[in-house]
Structure 1
Amino acid sequence: MLQACLNGSRDKAFHRDTPFTPTELAFQAETVVAAGAGELHLHPRDDSGAETLDPAYVAEALLAIRKRVPGVPVGLSTHAGIAPGGAGRLDAVAAWTERPDYVSVNLVEADAPEMIALVLERGIGVEAGLWSVEDAERFVKLDTAPKCLRILIEINEQDETEGLAVAAGIRTVLARASLDVPVLQHGYDASVWPLYRDALMRGLDGRIGLEDGRHLPDGEIAAGNADLIKAAFLMARVPPNLAPEATPAPPG
């Protein structure tokens, strides 16, 4: 499964195609689904462009997207920096009138167990975000861990070797716990494509989009989210042990 992460905390200065409004989000949802994305992840924004968990803005974004791409799973972030922030996030999520299909919850945050319990109670799937081995060790001890929709191995390290090592450490903890939960692995900025390539080699789900980075595998800046999704599918079609120049010529 390839998930498209449309905006995150990025702004228009990062990339002019970063979607903010429900209309922009819905349009880009349609373009990335047409490009092959199977699921969506996004951060609703308020009228000023700031990330928000406010029920009204969440509902507006979800309804616009579902009208444009009905049936496509849509997920939101619950990270601590999103307004109203802190414990207020729990109250905001509890007040949602339009529910996403799933949310991501970062295990590095102190209230992660409470957030996971709340969203599961509301019938919303959980993507458990693990940034480190410590996060993984904390996660596997939770009673709710087996109930999660999937695990996100989220690598923030910018050095490729370091990032791959952290991902390997997280996978080791998960393997020892024998959790039967799907895994999605992704990087950030410089580590986007190395971690995606590694995910392909291991048969893991992946995530690509402007939230994680704006560059194509060749280093050029992508035209937008759909361009990034297309590049990911192209990479998936090429055997990882074959560089483009090593691809055998056709017979004849």
Structure 2
Amino acid sequence: MGRVLQACLNGAREPGGHPGVPITPQQLAAEAAACAELGVTSFHLHPRDVVGLEVLAGPEVATAVSVVRAAVPGAGIGVTTGAWIVPDPVRRAELVRGWAGLAAGRPDFASVNVHEDGWLGVAAAAREAGVGVELGVFHAEAARVLLDAGVPEGTVRVLAEVRPGETVREAERLLELLAPLGVPVLLHGEDDSAWPVLDLAVARGLDTRIGLEDTLTTRDGLVAVDNAQLVRLAGAGAGKSAGS
């Protein structure tokens, strides 16, 4: 496996869209614990409110993170700052900045998508809150924006994401564009690109990720049971144990 295999547990998947997608803090914790037994030490999750909607507000973020952290002590736990959750970039940055006081519920890192309005402000807010930044780069245009702006302080890695319908060639192009930054890259795909891109990341020795956020199916196209099954398949595909 690549240097790190991150488990992306739920993402923006709609509640009920797949029976295994964890929504509540307790469900997230159970899924994280199952993946941790397979060696995973890095998790990405999308906290939800009581009706299952994604949120950036401190109380819900703190609850989700602290419950998961209790289940997987010592693991790195990250969350999203997606603009679709709070479209106003000023308010989004305010909410992220407020994570500073969350104590055990403060995430270790948060993804900030470079193509979204206000991304630099959100990245700065995360840094001020003591939260590391994963820079989401979804396409060549975003890569060029990042190259022009420079890597913000507090960045721990770049998330190079290959979107559905795109190929390994697009992944290679993205890696080539990002290479001058000299920042660790976690390469992953989504839906039909998830498995081919994961295999490319493994071959390149890059960090990667898998989970129900990125794909609902196994390598054979069957509906996955849960996150742990996907992690197990990712490790088997690389010929090594997951998380190594």
Determine if the TM-score, normalized by the shorter chain, exceeds 0.5.
yes
The within-5 A match list for 1:164-175 is 164-175=168-179
**Structure 1 regions of 5+ residues with no counterpart?**
239-252
SS in 2 for 1:95: helix
Q: Which residue of 2 aligns with 1:8?
A: 11
Which residue, out of 124, 147, 161, partners 1:117? 124
How far is 1:51 from its partner? 0.3
Which residue, out of 184, 187, 193, partners 2:195? 193
How far is 1:201 from its partner? 0.9
CA distance in 2, matches of 1:188, 1:27: 23
**Structure 2 regions of 5+ residues with no counterpart?**
none
How far is 1:150 from its partner? 0.4
Q: Which residue of 2 aligns with 1:76?
A: 79
In terms of Rg, which structure is larger? 1
Q: 2:124–2:152: 8 Å Cα contact kept in structure 1?
A: no
The letter of the residue matching 2:35 is: V
Identity rate, percent: 40
Q: 1:6–1:209: 8 Å Cα contact kept in structure 2?
A: yes
SS in 1 for 2:183: coil
CA distance in 2, matches of 1:64, 1:38: 16
Q: 1:36–1:229: 8 Å Cα contact kept in structure 2?
A: no
The letter of the residue matching 2:139 is: S
Q: Which residue of 2 aligns with 1:90?
A: 93
The letter of the residue matching 1:166 is: E
Higher relative contact order (CA 8 A, sep 6+): 2
How far is 1:146 from its partner? 6.5
Is the aligned partner of 1:133 residue 2:140?
yes
How far is 1:67 from its partner? 1.0
The letter of the residue matching 2:97 is: A
CA distance in 2, matches of 1:38, 1:80: 27
The letter of the residue matching 1:35 is: L
The letter of the residue matching 2:36 is: V
The within-5 A match list for 1:126-165 is 126-145=133-152, 147-158=154-165, 162-165=166-169
SS in 2 for 1:149: strand
CA distance in 2, matches of 1:43, 1:220: 24
Which residue, out of 223, 234, 237, partners 1:235? 237
CA distance in 1, matches of 2:88, 2:173: 29
CA distance in 2, matches of 1:115, 1:91: 8
SS in 1 for 2:134: strand
Q: Alpha-carbon deviations, 1:203-227, whole Å to 9, x = none? A: 1111100001111111111110101
The aligned length equals 232
The within-5 A match list for 1:31-42 is 31-42=34-45
Q: 1:4–1:32: 8 Å Cα contact kept in structure 2?
A: yes
TM-score (norm 1): 0.88
CA distance in 2, matches of 1:212, 1:143: 27
Q: Alpha-carbon deviations, 1:30-52, whole Å to 9, x = none? A: 01111222200000000110000
1:133–1:146 CA distance, 2 compared to 1 (3 A): farther
The letter of the residue matching 1:101 is: D
CA distance in 1, matches of 2:37, 2:88: 36
SS in 2 for 1:222: coil
Q: Which residue of 2 aligns with 1:223?
A: 225
CA distance in 1, matches of 2:191, 2:25: 25
Is the aligned partner of 1:213 residue 2:215?
yes
CA distance in 2, matches of 1:195, 1:134: 19
Q: Alpha-carbon deviations, 1:77-101, whole Å to 9, x = none? A: 101011x332221111112232200
